[in-house]
């Protein structure tokens, strides 16, 4: 099982680099990430959340596990509010407004081009994971009041540990 990095770990704030070759190392990483995502449990996991600075994420929103290599959001539209949490900031969640629809492109594990027009929940998962790969945590998506409250809780946690 891979260790999921927690808030405060600098690896979560670094942008990842594109995967150049989808080889056995990547396949092994994806298998480990899927296993760790299910164990958490969560619906998505980005590579830098397990300390690997490569641009890929895994997710399962009920249709089985999938990995997207070198994902990018090329278009987004609308607005949708949804209560969002993160395995790297456990036990906390916030109502966050983000685009409702996104168009995600990337590669499958076979190296085929992937193009997904996602809406609502799926679109939210994609935006959250692509944010991770850009070094952005959901805390940066909070409004001022939410962020103030969140940092208070996280500071108290850090002092208690
Ligand atoms: Ni997350």
Q: Please state the pTM of the whole predicted model.
A: 0.97
CA–CA separation, 55 and 98 (whole Å): 22
User: Rounded to the nearest whole angstrom, what is the distance from the C-alpha of residue 40 to the centroid of ligand 1?
Assistant: 12
* Homologous superfamily (CATH) for 10-160: Peptide deformylase (3.90.45.10)
User: Rounded to the nearest whole angstrom, what is the distance from the C-alpha of residue 26 to the centroid of ligand 1?
Assistant: 20
Where would I find the beta strands (DSSP E) of the chain?
44-46, 56-59, 66-77, 80-86, 89-98, 101-107, 113-119
Question: Which residues belong to the active site?
Answer: 129
pLDDT tens digits, 105-126: 999 999 999 999 999 999 999 9
What pLDDT shows up at residue 51?
98
What pLDDT shows up at residue 25?
97
Contacts with 30 (C-beta within 8 Å, 6 or more apart), sequence order:
56, 58, 67, 109
Strand partners, 86: 89
Strand partners, 115: 105
User: Rounded to the nearest whole angstrom, what is the distance from the C-alpha of residue 137 to the centroid of ligand 1?
Assistant: 7
Q: Which structure tokens are listed for 101?
A: 């629809």
What pLDDT shows up at residue 161?
77
């Amino acid at each position: 099982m891979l260790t999921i990095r927690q808030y405060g770990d600098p690896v979560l704030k670094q942008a990842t680099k594109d995967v150049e070759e989808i080889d056995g190392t990547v396949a092994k990483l994806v298998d480990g990430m899927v296993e760790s995502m299910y164990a958490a449990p969560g619906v998505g996991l980005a590579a830098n959340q397990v300390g690997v600075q490569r641009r890929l994420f895994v997710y399962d929103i009920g249709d089985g596990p999938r990995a997207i290599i070198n994902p990018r959001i090329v278009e987004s539209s609308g607005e949708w509010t949804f209560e969002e949490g993160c395995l790297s900031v456990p036990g906390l969640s916030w109502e966050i407004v983000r685009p409702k629809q996104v168009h995600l492109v990337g590669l499958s594990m076979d190296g085929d081009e992937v193009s997904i027009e996602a809406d609502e929940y799926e679109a939210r998962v994609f935006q959250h994971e692509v944010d991770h790969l850009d070094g952005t945590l959901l805390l940066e998506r909070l409004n001022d009041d939410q962020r103030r409250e969140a940092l208070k809780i996280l500071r108290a946690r850090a002092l208690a540990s």
